[in-house]
A and B are shown apart, each in its own frame.
Chain A
Amino acid sequence: MKPPPESVIDVQGVTKRFGDRTVVNRIDLRVLRGEIFGFLGPNGSGTSTFLRILCGLLTPDEGSGRCLGHDIRSDRAAIKREVGYMTQRFSFYEDLTIQENLDFIARIYAVANRAAAVRQSLQTLGLTERGHQLAGQLSGGWKQRLALAACLIHQPQLLLLDEPTAGVDPKARRDFWEQIHRLAAQGLTVLITTHYMDEAERCHRLAYLAYGNLLTHGTVAEVVQGANLTTYEISGPLLHRLADQLRGQPGVEQVVAFGNTLHVSGRNALQLHQSLAPARSDPYHCRAITSGLEDVFISLMDTARDNFR
């Protein structure tokens, strides 16, 4: 056996158009083995499309590369056998029971010792008792968990998860992330799309996509630093009035209420500082803080809108 390739995903210039709309625009990406890679972007930015290209469901119009060492254009069958893809929309059979669904997938992937694998999977899910319930009768969050269990059953090398935690409760989400980290520690690579910031921060590395363009990528710290954003936290009475006053001032790009405080950020630190003069006097209290991921992403999105629309 040849040694496992260092980068599990390595693609260059991947482009996908629907009609004359470019949905994924010349994306280069490398993801290493054992990495949990977060893929973020506003709705319609092309994250699902990119995942589909990686697992061979869509043919890229341009670009090339390898996934698990197989060519993404010519060797799709090999990729499919080693990838676990979880679709954004629930796509298992609602008229089959939980157990039958798992059994079907296990058969399709020719899982060795199928019955044991299905039983194990049900146990991990905590659904042993409900194995005979129709999948269509599960609640949204449970469907997500079933889908994750199903795409793990053939022990894939790479997981492509499209918003796996949408609509899942916090406890289940935490369990999910613990499981993902455990699997990654064993060498599984995970590419995951999400709209949740706390989940983005749990990824080893992340990328931000807007209008099909890869705007930034790296660790959370790198992404925040690269954005060059200055953020102040303001506290005091009647903050919504101050917020109205600050919006539209030079250098003020975002004014967001966070509980009893206001976060104000902008890329031009000097202008922002000057515009915040009213917030520095009584009765307000103003201090510089590190920008959050969300501030960074919203800032990136605004820039992207100016540049690509």
Chain B
Amino acid sequence: MKHHQFNFQRFWAIVAKEFIQMRRDRLTFGMMIGIPMMQLILFGFAINSDPKHLPTAVLSADHSVFARSFVSALKNSAYFDVRHELHSEAELDRVLDHGEVQFAIQIPADFSRRLLRGERPALLLAADATDPAASGGAIAALHLLVDSALNHDLKGPLQKLRASPGPIELIIHRRYNPEIITQYNIVPGLMGVVLTMTMVIITALAITRERERGTMENLLSTPARPGEVMIGKIVPYIMVGYLQAILVLLAARYLFQVPVIGSVTLLMIVILLFIAANLAVGITFSTLARNQLQAMQMSFFFFLPSILLSGFMFPFRGMPVWAQYLGEILPLTHFLRIVRGILLKGNDLSDIAPGLWPIALFLVAMLALGIHRYRQTLD
């Protein structure tokens, strides 16, 4: 039947209308640009900051000159703020557990003896890695610190001990969080997070707004078909999504010096799929919600697992299996892998293909659900 077909002119009428409305709604438009900016700045500071004066505890079982000069070097460094001198391992566990210190450094009893014998004694650094970004810089500094402190004391006949692989072995235990999230992980990931957040919300409001303002009754009485309305409402926001993606990409490259190894063109093409998937979620929510508040709540309901289970906040492999399964459903999970793969590892299309089809599947399923749920009557 002829009138059951997708009509391009009606579709275009919706697109044009949405563009005009978007232009008139300055506040919402400002938010769509403002949210990525704000997130970039917030996350950007967290990433940029190289925290110093981190609370540190020292458990020294050795009282040699080496141990003492190491501790004083620690005290002089900007990274470590030695707050506790401990006397037992139980105490060490306690201060770490309670979060009183970020680091606990343990110097074994036979430290100087083994050092002098050239046996490379172990120096144990236990780091509270729940906030891994906080400890990265300090750990790097410790390596240098050990070398310079000991080199100062290793003079004359002991000088031979300085030779590589270094006089001691530095053992680092990152407690609580085995993986490390680096700044390179976060900024590209932010692109996915920003898109998920704004794209879903903005379209979730799209149809509920029509219903609340009473314009839906009019729209439903016209020959416009569900597909035309829904896709017509999605298209203008795809452009907004691109604007946001480009914004984040520029910031990543020039503000945070994230390396861009892979093809930006490929990334731009793949983003289309991801944006469309999120818009489809929003549109579907908007067919389910009765009012704008409900639409908003549903958006957050989707946004939270996206941000928590996708590997943006926590390492994906560190999550329980059921959470991983949930995460695999979400488009953000796959998009994060893709965007990191392209930007950081220089992945090409064949590398990212395994992440593309789950997003495509999600998109199709969401659109189908949305079109199915779109009520053509007021019943």
Contacts and interface: CB of A to CB of B under 8 A. Distances in A.
Given A77-B4, A107-B16, A108-B223, A57 B9 contact: no
B364 interface: no
Interface string A63-99: 0000000000000111011010101011111111000
Interface stretch (B61-69, B88-96, B211-219): B211-219
A56 B377 contact: yes
A109 B223 CA distance: 7
A78 B225 CA distance: 12
Contacts of B14: 108
B224 interface: yes
Nearest to A147: B218
A35 B21 CA distance: 39
A107 B10 contact: yes
Interface of B is mostly: helix
The number of chain A residues touching the other chain, given as a range, is 20 to 34
A289 interface: no
A68 B108 CA distance: 95
Given A57-B377, A90-B214, A95-B21, A107 B9 contact: yes
Interface in B208-264: 213-218, 220-225
Contacts of A110: 7, 9-10
B379 A55 contact: no
Contacts of A96: 17, 20-21, 24
A58 B378 contact: yes
Given A77-B4, A92-B218, A108 B13 contact: yes
B9 A58 contact: no
A1 B345 CA distance: 66
A89 B13 contact: no
Contact of B214 (A83, A89, A109): A89
Contacts of A28: none
A80 B12 contact: no
B379 A59 contact: yes
B378 A52 contact: yes
A87 B12 contact: no
A52 B12 CA distance: 26
B17 A93 contact: yes
Contact of A109 (B213, B222, B377): B222
Contact of B218 (A76, A78, A81, A91): A91
Of the candidates A56, A76, A107, A108, the one having the most CB atoms from chain B within 10 angstroms of its own CB is A108
Interface in A87-130: 87, 89-96, 100, 104-105, 107-110
A90 B216 CA distance: 11
A81 B3 contact: yes
17 contacts: A57-B378, A58-B379, A78-B3, A81-B3, A81-B223, A83-B221, A89-B217, A91-B213, A91-B216, A91-B217, A95-B25, A96-B20, A96-B21, A104-B16, A104-B17, A110-B7, A110-B9
